[in-house]
Every structure is written in structure tokens, then in C-alpha cells.
Amino acid sequence: MNIMITGGTGFVGTHLTKELTEKGHHVYVLTRSPEKRTDTNHIAYIGYDHPVKDLPRIHAVINLAGDSLFGYWTRKKKKVIRTSRINTTQKVIRMMEQMETKPDVFISGSAVGFYGTSEELIFTEQTINPGDDFLADVVVDWEQTAKQAEQLGIRTVYTRFGVILGQVGALPLMKLPVKMFAGGRIGNGEQWVSWVHIKDVVGLIHFCMFNEQINGPVNVTAPNPKRNKDFTRVLADILNRPFWLPAPAFMVWTAIGEMSLLIEKGQYVLPKKAKDFHYPFSYPDLKEALDETER
């Protein structure tokens, strides 16, 4: 298959591209600076202005681009977080509009931030009401933009990512205080962490590509969320560090501002569609997932 990917040089994109090329697919990575990359036998780097007529038949498009959420959320940063997702998705939609033969599937990255935060509620893909915070607003706009692909007759999937565990991303930041012997719960520790191992992120995207019955939102999370206090305790045990010093919520807010929403609040998200379609999770349990990241 010929597969076009945005965000192909990022954390998820790099792992996904590796998996796809190892399975014999040819990947076209959309990037703003294709001249800085070197093509291989199975990977071609192209710009967003690349003539669509010069591309072969594209069977699937995967949209993973977007500015990192990490950093102090100034007004400027929040604008970039939103526009980087919306604008890239619009560009991809326009490219698909120009394709004589449309892709079979469009998989657009999204986030469990759609649901807002709660310590009591359980969220699945059947939850239709979004949250009322900044991230929820971004995700709603992001998915609405991606939904234009449905009008082109393309099966469209919104992969709502949880906290992805791997060598980069959120986990190194979560490890840091633990490694510095200052690991403990954040705030009251009751907030949920809906996590997922990077192998299952790649696995679920691949699963959605080839299962023609799957469309709409798909929660890309492990089936066993953990409360922050339990997540951190397991992490401390694996790193052979003490679990003792809690970080008050106001200190987290003082340090990183509104981005603390990602840390001091959370949501209990279940991957109902993945379970309904019998996706075989490689890492359904936290300890095994964290053990693997330390190998």
C-alpha cells in the first residue's frame, strides 16, 4: 500500500513509519522541509505543495501533525497548538480532494482531551458531549475539520490518544521527579491517567487502517487506567526510587501554568471500540508497559 503521513518525523510518526515500512508498505511523509530529509527505498519525503497528480494511488492517509502540548501555555502557544492542528488537517483535506481516486481511509490524530476532566465519570467513544476546557475545544475543532473527509466518501477515524508511554513524550517528564528522589502523587493523586504504550498506539492505528467496519472516534488507551498516585507508585518501584513526597497542585500550576491541566487533572477513558473489535493489546497492564520502556 501507499500511505501518506503527516507528522511522520515525530514520536508516533517515526514508530508508525518504521512499522509500516517493515511490513512492505511505501510511506510518503508530508513535511515542511522535505529537502532536509533523505528518501529511502520505502520512504519519500514530500512538501505540502507537492503536486497530487505526481503521486501514485494513495490508499491511506494518516494525520499526526501538531505542535507539542508541552511548554508554558501563553496565548501565543495556545494559538499555535490550535492552528497547527487545524491548518495541517485542512491542507490534507485539500490534497485528498484533488486525488482522482480517493484514499480508502483517513485516520486523523485526536486526543482524549475531548472528554474534559473528571475523577468519577467513565468515558468511552459513546460519550458525545465534549469537555469545556481549552484542550476539549481544540479537539472538537480538530475533529470537525477532519470530518470533511467523510463528505469525500472516505472512511474517517479519529484516534483519540491517551498518555503515550515511550522514550520521548510525556513519560520522561513524569519520570524526572521520581528519578530525583522526589516522586509522589500530584495534588490529591486521585486523578486518572489514561495511558497507552507506544506499541499499542502503532498497533491500533494499523488495526483501524485495515478494519473497514471501524470509523469515527477510537480511544487509543490501554484498558486499565490508573489513578495518578498508583501510576507514580508503580513508576517509582520500577525505577527503584522512593514514593513519598507529594507535589501540591498549586506548585505544579506555578511551575507550568495552564499546562498543569495535563498533570493535575485527568479522565478515565476506556477503549471500548478496540475491545469490541477484539484488538489484542500488547501491553494492557501498566507494570509491563513501564518495564518495557526501561529496557
Domain residue limits, the chain: 2-293
Higher pLDDT, 175 or 75: 75
Average pLDDT over residues 254-260: 54
> Does residue 262 have a pLDDT over 60?
yes
**From CA 238, how far away is CA 228, in angstroms rounded?**
15
Question: The domain at 2-293 falls in which architecture?
Answer: 3-Layer(aba) Sandwich (3.40)
pLDDT given at position 259: 55
- CA dihedral of residues 109, 144, 191, 208 (deg, nearest 10): -40
CB atoms under 10 Å from CB of 74, counted, come to 11
Q: 110-136, pLDDT tens digit by residue?
A: 999 999 999 899 999 999 999 999 999
Q: Which residues are paired to 257 by β-bridges?
A: none
Give this prediction's pTM. Answer: 0.92
Backbone conformation region of residue 259, classed left if phi is above 0, alpha if psi is from -120 to 50, else beta: alpha
Contacts of residue 288, defined as CB under 8 A and 6 or more positions apart, other chains included, come to: none
83-87, 171-175, 214-218, 287-291: least confident range: 171-175
pLDDT given at position 46: 96
pLDDT given at position 189: 82
Q: What percent of the chain has pLDDT over 70?
A: 90
Average pLDDT over residues 212-240: 93
Contacts of residue 118, defined as CB under 8 A and 6 or more positions apart, other chains included, come to: 267, 268
Average pLDDT over residues 40-56: 94
> Does residue 260 have a pLDDT over 70?
no
> Does residue 180 have a pLDDT over 70?
no
CA distances 128 to 25, 28, 114, 160, 229, Å, are 35, 33, 9, 13, 29
Average pLDDT over residues 145-174: 92
> Does residue 108 have a pLDDT over 70?
yes
